[in-house]
Amino acid sequence: MAAIRDFLYLVALAWWTGTALYFGGSATPAIFARFPRPQAGQVVEVIFPGYYRTAVATAVALAVLASWRLAARRPRATMALVLVLAMLALDLVGALLLQPRIHALRAQAGEAEGGAPLPPEFGRLHALSVAASALSLLMALGLWALVAWAGL
């Protein structure tokens, strides 16, 4: 049973990490390089809900599996669980607080139709969203380091 638990932990961590790296490091920059800013924003806005569903679902799976690993007294399991719960919290903040407000500000400004410039609050919230995603990614990389250092 431990082998299945550890395998699923690695799958969930790889899924979360791969999604974050692909979305933030490849898909989003490519979309903004290819399309005018208003259209690129619309495309990314369509993708974000799926990104956050994946991030939250895999972080929940990681939390369950990390709790199971803690109960089995695996090496560094407490540290791993703390990192996973922090990742989940950041993902939920992005999904439930930041992105809906960012979307509302874009809609109010009418940026999609070339309307008014985005308000300063948009920039602040976008910066918070990027920082939260980057911090969460660093935590995921920390989880990989724990796997490499302490093993499963």
Kindly tell me if the per-residue pLDDT of 108 is higher than 90: no
- In the chain the first and final C-alpha atoms are separated, in Å, by 13
Q: Give the rounded distance of the alpha carbon of 47 from its chain centre.
A: 13
- If you average pLDDT over residues 4-8, what whole number do you get? 94
**DSSP assignments along 111-135, one per residue:** GGGT-SPPPHHHHHHHHHHHHHHHH
pLDDT of residue 37: 86
From residue 54, alpha-carbon distances to 19, 58, 94, 108 in Å are 8, 6, 13, 27
| Residue in the block written with tokens 């939920």 | 92
- Residue 56's domain spans which residues? 2-150
- If you average pLDDT over residues 32-44, what whole number do you get? 91
| Residues contacting residue 122 through CB under 8 Å, at least 6 positions apart | 102, 105, 106, 109
Structure-token pair, residue 53:
């569903």
- Write out pLDDT tens, residues 62-101: 999 999 999 988 889 999 999 999 999 999 999 999 999 9
Kindly tell me if the per-residue pLDDT of 111 is higher than 80: no
pLDDT of residue 117: 82
Q: What percent of the chain has pLDDT over 70?
A: 97
Q: Please, what is the average pLDDT of the chain?
A: 92
Number of domains present in the structure of the chain: 1
Confidence of residue 107 (pLDDT cuts 50, 70, 90): confident
Kindly tell me if the per-residue pLDDT of 58 is higher than 60: yes
Kindly tell me if the per-residue pLDDT of 112 is higher than 90: no
